[in-house]
């Protein structure tokens, strides 16, 4: 199967960087395009401990960080021989996984590649698993790249 439109959620983290590395390799092998997605999670602006703080500047800052993250990753991907397209989406109150799945449909992605922490047990229950939800609801195949090497059992 040839993957021509590869959606890669990115947030600047080492975990996302692992997924990005695999996506670049796939894009080069398939002469495909990388669809870089950064989701601005607006709910984080509302958990500010200061009462009466204007949310506008906080949201502007989150958007700016997102644009800078996308630009840096797109430059790196282009230097590696991939063809990136950047998309910044705002998510107000929903799960990031839902936004990723929606964008996969909207952008007509053939594949989603994302890094995952591979959390288990209580950590997974407490922190949730966006990767698991993406796999469950994605309209296209999903490649999960572990943040670190394989764990010993």
Q: Does pLDDT of 128 surpass 70?
A: no
Mean confidence (pLDDT) of the chain: 85
> What was the pLDDT predicted at 149?
58
> What was the pLDDT predicted at 31?
92
Q: Is residue 95 part of a domain?
A: yes
Average pLDDT over residues 122-144: 77
Average pLDDT over residues 120-125: 45
Q: Is residue 115 part of a domain?
A: yes
Average pLDDT over residues 107-123: 77
> What was the pLDDT predicted at 135?
92
> What was the pLDDT predicted at 92?
82
- Residue 80's domain comprises 5-146
User: CATH no. for residue 100?
Assistant: 3.40.50.620
Please give the share of the chain, as a percent, with pLDDT higher than 90.
Answer: 60
> What was the pLDDT predicted at 16?
92
Q: Is residue 105 part of a domain?
A: yes
Q: Does pLDDT of 146 surpass 70?
A: yes
| pLDDT tens for each residue of 20-61 | 999 999 999 999 999 999 999 866 555 555 555 667 788 888
Coil, helix or strand at residue 61: helix
Kindly report the pTM of this predicted structure: 0.84
Q: Is residue 110 part of a domain?
A: yes
Q: Is residue 93 part of a domain?
A: yes
Q: Is residue 153 part of a domain?
A: no
User: Sign of dihedral through CA atoms 138, 75, 88, 115?
Assistant: positive
> What was the pLDDT predicted at 121?
46
Q: Is residue 126 part of a domain?
A: yes
CA–CA distance, 23 with 115 (Å, rounded to integer): 10
User: 60 - beta bridge partners?
Assistant: none
Average pLDDT over residues 55-84: 91
> What was the pLDDT predicted at 2?
83
- Per DSSP bridges, beta strands 83-91 and 111-116 are unpaired
Count of alpha carbons within 13 Å of 65, Cβ hemisphere only?
A: 15
Q: Quote the number of domains for the chain.
A: 1
Q: Is residue 152 part of a domain?
A: no
């Amino acid at each position: 199967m040839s993957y021509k439109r590869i959606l890669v959620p990115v947030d600047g983290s080492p975990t996302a960087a692992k997924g990005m590395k695999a996506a670049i390799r796939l894009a080069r092998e398939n002469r495909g395009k990388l669809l870089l997605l950064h989701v601005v999670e607006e709910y984080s602006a509302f958990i500010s401990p200061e009462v009466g703080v204007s949310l506008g500047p906080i949201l502007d800052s989150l958007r700016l960080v997102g644009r800078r993250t996308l630009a840096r990753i797109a430059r790196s991907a282009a230097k590696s021989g991939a063809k990136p397209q950047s998309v910044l989406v705002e998510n107000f109150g929903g799960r990031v996984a839902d936004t990723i799945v929606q964008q996969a449909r909207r952008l007509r992605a053939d594949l989603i590649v994302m890094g995952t922490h591979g959390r288990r047990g209580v950590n997974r229950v407490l922190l949730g698993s966006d990767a698991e939800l993406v796999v469950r609801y994605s309209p296209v195949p999903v490649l999960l790249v572990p943040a670190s090497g394989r764990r010993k059992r």
